[in-house]
Amino acid sequence: MREIRRHATTSRRSSAVVYNGMAFIGGQTAEDRTLDIRGQTRQVLAKIDRLLAEAGTSKSRLLSVQIWLKDITHDFAGMNEIWDTWTAPGNAPTRATVQCALGLPEILIEVIVTAAVDEAEVE
């Protein structure tokens, strides 16, 4: 049976799951929800950097990303300003960004990620 590695697992969710050469990272939101879209985006991407590192990979190995914004008209440009400087040059993932109400009114952005993981290849 091929191994599944789970990180920070509760009865509700794992923060990350690694399987079959891929890391799946669940919906990440900012800790400080008083921040504007730039600040929340920075915090979300920093959390993703940490979760990718724990999973044995990095942002240079991203495959696909989904971004949900509370207000895409107001916050799309600000999110992209932070996003575009965060991506690893030449290695941006596929991406889709849509507008949805999120878990709490003060959450402006939520992001999920799929990334390649190398160590799973040598299992």
From residue 121, alpha-carbon distances to 20, 22, 100 in Å are 7, 9, 36
Helix (H) / strand (E) containing 82: helix 72-86
19 binds its own copies (CB under 8 A): yes
116 binds its own copies (CB under 8 A): yes
20 binds its own copies (CB under 8 A): yes
5 binds its own copies (CB under 8 A): no
76 binds its own copies (CB under 8 A): yes
Q: Pick the stretch among 14-22, 31-39, 42-50 that binds its own copies (CB under 8 A).
A: 14-22
From residue 38, alpha-carbon distances to 10, 33, 91, 122 in Å are 29, 11, 22, 38
Task: Map the footprint of its own copies across residues 29-58, applying CB under 8 A.
Answer: none
Closest CB 38 distance from its own copies, rounded Å = 16
Say how many C-beta atoms besides its own lie within 10 A of residue 40's C-beta. Answer: 27
Contacts of 24 (CB under 8 A, 6+ apart): 16, 17, 18, 112, 113, 114
**Binding site residues, its own copies, CB under 8 A:** 1-2, 4, 6, 9-17, 19-22, 24-27, 61, 63-64, 66, 68, 72-73, 76, 80, 83-85, 87, 89-103, 110, 112, 114, 116, 118, 121
